[in-house]
Amino acid sequence: MELRTAQSFGEAIVPLDVSIVMPCLNEVQSLRHCIANALEALDRIHAVHGLSGEVVIADNGSTDGSQALAAALGARVVNVSRKGYGAAIIGGFDAAYGRYLVMGDCDGSYDFNDAVAMVTRLVEGGDLCMGSRFKGGIAPGAMPWKNRYIGNPVLTGVLNLFFRSGIDDAHCGLRAIRKDCYARLGLTSDGMEFASEMVIKASLLSMVIEQVPATLSRDLRDRAPHLRPWRDGWRHLRYLFMLSPTWAFGVPAALMMGAGALIFVLLTLFTLHLLPGEPRLGVSWGIVGAFLLTTGHFAAVMALATHCYGVRQGYRPLRPILRRLSPVLTLENALIAGGGAIIASILSFGAVIYWWTSLDFQALPTTLPLLISVVLGVTGMQTALGGFLLSIIAGHDAQFCPDNAISTQLLALSARSIW
């Protein structure tokens, strides 16, 4: 098959079917092999499916002549000014003409013939198809041991735990995606965490994610790779938490508030002599309980705020429980609840002052009422101020999760197509 490029008729563009996109930064040593390999893969895709294709080199500022070599070899060169792995791929994807987008490194480590099966999965109805190096085979020396046995399994396991993606190699650089699905994801990451962002957002939007074997060979360069395992591993891990309000805020909130509530229940039971024996918890544990309750409440507000932000941005659906509660999740109700807690705190604190005066300003026999006053005041303030935060995130709307607006937005995102 002869490599084709899109033809322009006025403002109309005749699209191609498959675009193989490679990010490039000073890869002159391996470009010849990679472009030839990509063209071979396009020939096979054409033979199997009758699809036309192109090779796109997303150049990220090469200074070794990579651009001229790529153009001479028949690839289309797209210059991407934003720096970073993710930025280069986004620039290449945006400029690609194909309905099916294949991405892979241009260091010679991937065999683009493995993408034939990926495109087949997309043709059959898949949205995103991942390569699995653990199923396809890893050549000796192709992947550092810390990546193979620590970094990749740990990060893939965390990703599957948080987002139920169901894949076994979340960081394989060879993958394929439908361009309309790519447009729905709204990917923004400049760096290596782009690989995680694609899988996470596809999982959140319930896209059909397929997986096929992919081989990994030693790269063809005589220099160190751009990947920095520890730095990029941390960037991936922190990004997983950024896109998971449940695990970043919700789980800590539930644990802290549960532990704090248990401490206060036990303190109350001991204070009222409803538990046998000598009191096991004193003022120190009361302070710990107050800390856990107030911090946990703050984390719960953050969980709601960040979840609503993700819904507003269109990369996650609103949780069913929040959809049911959306009529009551409003700024007014937050102010009423927060104001009520603050008033209760003031009254409770006044009662403590009165009790203190009745004891002739001697030390109180228990600090439990004072701690309850503090917890009520802090959580009340957090609720009221959190209400304003949620309203701002909602687009300056008093309803935090406007069900109709969100449904309309998600339907529009689901129906969006570039063709």
Q: The CATH number of the domain where 100 resides is what?
A: 3.90.550.10
Question: Is 41 in the same domain as 67?
Answer: yes
Average pLDDT of the residues in 134-156: 87
Question: Is 178 in the same domain as 295?
Answer: no
* pTM, two decimal places: 0.78
Please write the tens of the pLDDT for every residue from 218-227: 988 766 565 6
Q: How many domains does the chain have?
A: 2
Q: Which residue has the higher pLDDT, 189 or 409?
A: 189
Helix (H) or strand (E) holding 275: none
The two counts, helices (H) then strands (E), for the chain are 17, 9
Residues paired with 330 in a beta bridge = 399
Q: What is the pLDDT of residue 410?
A: 45
In this predicted structure, the answer to whether residue 143 has a pLDDT above a threshold of 90 is: no
Q: What is the pLDDT of residue 9?
A: 33
292: burial class by Cβ within 10 Å (0-12, 13-18, 19+)?
A: buried
In this predicted structure, the answer to whether residue 5 has a pLDDT above a threshold of 50 is: no
Residue 330: which domain range?
245-415
Question: What mean pLDDT value characterizes the chain?
Answer: 88
Question: Is 124 in the same domain as 195?
Answer: yes
Measured distance CA(235)–CA(16) in Å, rounded: 35
Residue 55: inside a domain? yes
Question: Is 127 in the same domain as 165?
Answer: yes
Please write the tens of the pLDDT for every residue from 117-135: 999 999 999 999 999 999 9
Question: Is 142 in the same domain as 191?
Answer: yes
Please write the tens of the pLDDT for every residue from 361-403: 888 888 889 999 999 999 999 999 999 999 999 888 898 886 5
Measured distance CA(58)–CA(53) in Å, rounded: 16
Q: What is the pLDDT of residue 269?
A: 85
Q: What is the pLDDT of residue 16?
A: 87
Question: Is 402 in the same domain as 343?
Answer: yes
Q: What is the pLDDT of residue 98?
A: 95
Question: Is 217 in the same domain as 249?
Answer: no
Question: Is 312 in the same domain as 367?
Answer: yes
In this predicted structure, the answer to whether residue 254 has a pLDDT above a threshold of 90 is: yes
